[in-house]
Amino acid sequence: MDGAAGPGAGTAPEALRALSRRLQAQEEEMELVKAALAEALRLLRMRTPDRDGDRDSSLAPPGLPPHCSPALVSRGTQTEPLEDSTPGPGPLSLSNGPPGPRAGGEVPGGAPSEGGSCSSGAGLPGPPGVLRPGQPSARLDTPRRNSSSSSPSERPRQKLSRKAASSANLLLRLGSTESRGGRDPPSSPGGPGSRRSNYNLEGISVKMFLRGRPITMYIPSGIRSLEELPSGLPPTTLNLDWVYGYRGRDSRSNLFVLRSGEVVYFIACVVVLYRPGGGPGGPGGGGQRHYRGHTDCVRCLAVHPDGIRVASGQTAGVDKDGKDQGAFLCVVDDSNEHMLSVWDCGRGTKLAEIKSTNDSVLAVGFSPRDSSCIITSGKSHVHFWNWSGGTGAPGNGVLARKQGVFGKYKKPKFIPCFVFLPDGDILTGDSEGNILTWGRSLSDSRMPGRGGAKETYGIVAQARAHEGSIFALCLRRDGTVLSGGGRDRRLVQWGQGLVALQEAEIPEHFGAVRAIAEGPGSELLVGTTKNALLRGDLAQGFSPVIQGHTDELWGLCTHPAQNCFLTCGHDRQLCLWDGEGHALAWSLDLKETGLCADFHPSGAVVAVGLNTGRWLVLDTETREIVSDVTDGNEQLSVVRYSPDGLYLAIGSHDNTIYIYSVSSDGAKSSRFGRCVGHSSFITHLDWSKDSNFIMSNSGDYEILYWDVVGGCKLLRNRYESRDREWATYTCVLGFHVYGVWPDGSDGTDINSLCRSHNERVVAVADDFCKVHLFQYPCARAKAPSRVFAGHGSHVTSVRFTHDDAYLVSLGGKDASIFQWRVLGAGTVTPSRTPSLSPASSLDV
């Protein structure tokens, strides 16, 4: 029977839930008290037998264990170690594995959970946003595997602004740790003047806060004091060895061949000089040099007429630039008014500046015959600029504009490219697929107040060249012109009078022609819209020399025995890369977005997680799919094989870790169980060295431990996992790595983390386009790091190769892959990839 509920309806269940929560909190408080009392009794029993022989014990105040100086115990709410604290004697024995970010107060000696799957056991009062028993599972607004709506260059700036107002901070260990003996909990029973926190016992844990949520991490028993842990910079450094990819999907006029024979292009914040084939990189591999002086994504290039010097511009600076005989540089910025400026290259001074147009400007350049003539083109316009006053004082130059007249010809929507002919005429390529020839003419109209005729630029010829837009034009040494089409992917050579001489078609999987450069002899270099560089000629065809992804990258894993690695991302491509030959070994269309991957320990198969809850297992040799399974309908964040290869763990955005039994070769799998207990989506996980346990992180900063072999049970007492050793360390939250988090962090600053196989360093991928290298373990707040720039977007993943010789990092929106050589500190940079230093522009 329908009817309105009375005013008291619905309040009773809420009151019961509140009472239940209070009861659970009180029960856990009692467990805490019981554990402390038990510890006090144990310590008293330890002191009784040798009371006479242990004279140092009499010096300690009540409640302290023997051999413990009062300086090693924190009092009250002190968060910093006391100044006179000294580490206890003995070698440092550090086993990796102790975190725990639940608000719950599990304590040493507490009974572990007996059930299989269980919800998170947070019962103590906590700050807003902390989930408590009885509340529905919820997910914090913490983006991880999803694309950012802001541009790559703006995302770090927005996050930096948020940092200034963030109340999140890191706290050092609550109380220094006293000397320990045996395997018993090394806690203080809470003597006079000592107080316990709601979330940890003093002397056995550290705590940090992210977005107001406390994260407790237990200290391994082998560590007596944080001061014993290594500090300072890591013993190794990184040198950029190779950059995979080319920015062709949204950039133009970005491919040139220098006098040295090197090809210059850019991707992310790096300008790359690449020598194709036969170079020091090995057969067909070539060699690379890199300029990494930019602080944001590079968007334009110009080469000096001497073929040696290069000018490059980054985001918010220029869109394409050109030069006259080398004395001046013209630049168009990306502001709403697209300011056109002329610069003295030698002095670095601005000679003239003017608003060009409110429409998009796609190309700009000096006439090679007349340094006073500048041309810009873009959305529905071709502008001819006359520049004077270049030898005067800075800022005194004058720029005067004349607009190209289309007359009887249809005005195209875009004019992406142009080229100067030897006779002074100009060819433009437009979005209608036409090549227009422009020349000077005298108009019949008179200039007001003047007797001379007004000079204009008009179209003198038109040729139908391509189906769809023309993206590139290139003048060859023999006087012929090359044009590259977008929709038809054709590369056409034109003779005098725009007569077609020869053509070739670029294969569809490489995309459309974006840029053309002339190499030695008849060789051509072609950049494509799918971020590939092709090498060849019109007669023999083209083959790739540089390839890359075309959209945001997230998935990365390295082979367990070979120098190769696998990547996947939003472009739905799964790619295996040869790290020795610096080349793409193979690629496969996944048909869906790939977000994570991991090799089986045998290397025979690889598991790939997709954004639909589906995961695949592929044979790495045949590329055949040997398993295709779906778990839930939400995206998968992490897949990870156990060290013995008998299990596969799959972390999902439905808050569950799915466990599968795997055959010895990895080809067959069957459901073993589920780890249920996280209150937000899974972000990272690692297996223990014995393949029995899992440590996992979630989107709301939980650190949980699971007994997989024992039935996928949640280990409620996280303290008991403090000494467990982990085969890998990729969880971003944990005692051994909590020092990598910066002050004021909001919990999304670190996207990925990876410990080296020799357990000496840990690499970190942050949200501000940087790769960091820390010493491992990194368990001291504000730990120093070596910082490496180059990516132009948030760095999404880092992984060491099997022998720790290289580190691979992925850029998010910039779709770049960096391969870093791992070097000992102070090692001389190999001559194979020498760095470049800027001159007035880029002196190579």
Q: What is the 3-state secondary structure (H, E, C) of 510-529?
A: HCCEEEEEECCCCCEEEEEC
What's the CA gap between 54 and 52, in Å, rounded?
A: 6
Residues 6+ apart with CB under 8 A from 709: 691, 692
Q: Work out the burial of residue 207: count CB atoms within 10 Å of its CB; fewer than 13 is exposed, 13-18 middle, 19 or more buried.
A: buried
pLDDT at 140: 41
Residue bearing the bigger pLDDT, 33 or 709:
709
3-class secondary structure, 44? helix
Position 773, amino acid = L
**Order of strands, sheet of 322-323, starting from the edge strand that comes earlier in the sequence:** 322-323, 328-332, 339-344, 349-355
Tell me the per-residue pLDDT of 532-569, one tens digit each, with 9 for 90 and over: 999 999 999 999 999 999 999 999 999 999 999 999 99
User: Which of 182-196, 268-282, 752-766 tops mean pLDDT?
Assistant: 752-766
Residue bearing the bigger pLDDT, 209 or 773:
773
pLDDT at 46: 64
Instruction: Pick the closest to residue 103 from 226, 220, 210 (CA basis).
Output: 210
Helix or strand run (H / E) with residue 435: strand 434-446
pLDDT at 228: 83
3-class secondary structure, 796? strand
User: Which of 39-53, 182-196, 759-773 tops mean pLDDT?
Assistant: 759-773
Taking CA atoms, 832 is separated from 288, 289, 306, 827, in Å, by: 8, 8, 25, 14
- What average pLDDT does range 178-196 have in this prediction? 32
User: Which of 250-254, 324-328, 448-452 tops mean pLDDT?
Assistant: 250-254
Q: Are 605 and 617 in contact (CB under 8 A)?
A: yes
Residue bearing the bigger pLDDT, 24 or 227:
227
Read off the DSSP letter of residue 405.
Answer: B
Q: Tell the residue number behind the tokens 């942050």, with chain if given.
A: 766
Q: How confident is residue 24, by pLDDT bands cut at 50, 70 and 90?
A: confident
Question: Could you tell me how far CA 433 lies from the centroid of its own chain?
Answer: 38
pLDDT at 286: 74
Tell me the per-residue pLDDT of 619-678, one tens digit each, with 9 for 90 and over: 999 999 999 999 999 999 999 999 999 999 999 999 999 999 999 888 899 999 999 999
Residues 6+ apart with CB under 8 A from 657: 649, 650, 651, 674, 675, 678, 682, 685, 694, 696, 706, 712
Q: Are 343 and 299 in contact (CB under 8 A)?
A: no
Helix or strand run (H / E) with residue 565: strand 564-569
pLDDT at 165: 36
pLDDT at residue 112 greater than cutoff 70: no
**What's the CA angle centered on 111, arms 191 and 180, to 5 degrees?**
45
3-class secondary structure, 93? coil
pLDDT at 6: 45
Tell me the per-residue pLDDT of 294-318, one tens digit each, with 9 for 90 and over: 988 998 888 888 888 898 888 753 3
What's the CA gap between 219 and 699, in Å, rounded?
A: 23
Supply the Cα-derived Rg of the chain in whole angstroms.
Answer: 32
Query: In the chain, what is the greatest distance between 2 CA atoms, to the nearest angstrom?
Result: 118
Q: Please, what sign has the CA dihedral across residues 132, 138, 141, 147?
A: positive
pLDDT at residue 816 greater than cutoff 50: yes
Position 79, amino acid = T
Structure tokens at 5: 């509920």
Helix or strand run (H / E) with residue 158: helix 154-165
Q: How confident is residue 37, by pLDDT bands cut at 50, 70 and 90?
A: confident
What's the CA gap between 781 and 783, in Å, rounded?
A: 5
pLDDT at 202: 54
pLDDT at 613: 96
Read off the DSSP letter of residue 151.
Answer: -
Position 500, amino acid = A
How many CB atoms are closer than 10 A to CB 111?
9
Q: How confident is residue 836, by pLDDT bands cut at 50, 70 and 90?
A: low
Q: Work out the burial of residue 477: count CB atoms within 10 Å of its CB; fewer than 13 is exposed, 13-18 middle, 19 or more buried.
A: exposed
3-class secondary structure, 70? helix
Instruction: Show the domains of the chain with their CATH numbers.
Output: 549-823 (2.130.10.10)
**What phi-psi label fits residue 295: left (phi over 0), alpha (psi between -120 and 50 degrees) or beta?**
alpha
pLDDT at 455: 59
pLDDT at residue 133 greater than cutoff 90: no
3-class secondary structure, 45? helix
Read off the DSSP letter of residue 562.
Answer: S
pLDDT at 690: 97
How many CB atoms are closer than 10 A to CB 464?
10
3-class secondary structure, 577? strand
What's the CA gap between 626 and 619, in Å, rounded?
A: 7
What's the CA gap between 245 and 575, in Å, rounded?
A: 12
Q: How confident is residue 835, by pLDDT bands cut at 50, 70 and 90?
A: low
What's the CA gap between 345 and 517, in Å, rounded?
A: 24
Residues 6+ apart with CB under 8 A from 839: 309
Q: Quickly list DSSP for 412-426.
A: PSB--EEEE-TTS-E
Q: Are 664 and 683 in contact (CB under 8 A)?
A: no
What's the CA gap between 777 and 218, in Å, rounded?
A: 14
Rounded to the nearest integer, the mean pLDDT of the chain is 78
How many CB atoms are closer than 10 A to CB 540?
10
Q: How confident is residue 3, by pLDDT bands cut at 50, 70 and 90?
A: very low
For the range 651-654, what are the long-range contacts, defined as Cβ-Cβ under 8 Å and sequence gap of 24 or more? 651/682, 651/683, 651/684, 651/685, 651/696, 652/613, 652/681, 652/682, 653/145, 653/681, 653/682, 654/613, 654/681
User: Which of 1-5, 86-90, 441-445, 563-567 tops mean pLDDT?
Assistant: 563-567
Structure tokens at 164: 């200034």
Structure tokens at 179: 């000397």
What's the CA gap between 155 and 791, in Å, rounded?
A: 13
Q: How confident is residue 188, by pLDDT bands cut at 50, 70 and 90?
A: very low
Instruction: Pick the closest to residue 415 from 438, 381, 384, 440 (CA basis).
Output: 381
Residue bearing the bigger pLDDT, 134 or 822:
822
Taking CA atoms, 827 is separated from 236, 420, 764, in Å, by: 9, 48, 21
- In this structure, the chain runs to a length of 844
Instruction: Pick the closest to residue 491 from 455, 530, 518 (CA basis).
Output: 518
What's the CA gap between 785 and 742, in Å, rounded?
A: 11
Q: Are 596 and 608 in contact (CB under 8 A)?
A: yes
Q: Are 804 and 821 in contact (CB under 8 A)?
A: no
Q: Tell the residue number behind the tokens 């170690």, with chain if given.
A: 81
Q: How confident is residue 601, by pLDDT bands cut at 50, 70 and 90?
A: very high
pLDDT at 726: 97
Q: How confident is residue 597, by pLDDT bands cut at 50, 70 and 90?
A: very high
Structure tokens at 633: 């309908």
Q: Are 739 and 783 in contact (CB under 8 A)?
A: yes
pLDDT at 67: 34
What's the CA gap between 69 and 92, in Å, rounded?
A: 19
Q: How confident is residue 371, by pLDDT bands cut at 50, 70 and 90?
A: confident
Position 824, amino acid = G
Instruction: Determine which of 277-291, 294-308, 469-483, 599-613 has the lowest per-residue pLDDT on average.
Output: 277-291
pLDDT at 732: 96
Read off the DSSP letter of residue 379.
Answer: B
Q: Is the pTM of this model over 0.75?
A: no
What's the CA gap between 619 and 668, in Å, rounded?
A: 11
3-class secondary structure, 282? coil
pLDDT at residue 751 greater than cutoff 80: yes
Q: Quickly list DSSP for 306-371.
A: TSSEEEEEETTT-S--EESSSSEEEEE-SSTT-EEEEEETTTTEEEEEEE--SS-EEEEEE-SS-T
How many CB atoms are closer than 10 A to CB 414?
19
pLDDT at 235: 94
What's the CA gap between 807 and 425, in Å, rounded?
A: 51
Phi (first) and psi of residue 572, to 5 degrees: 70, 15
Tell me the per-residue pLDDT of 143-184, one tens digit each, with 9 for 90 and over: 444 444 444 445 554 554 444 333 333 333 333 333 333 333
Q: How confident is residue 346, by pLDDT bands cut at 50, 70 and 90?
A: confident
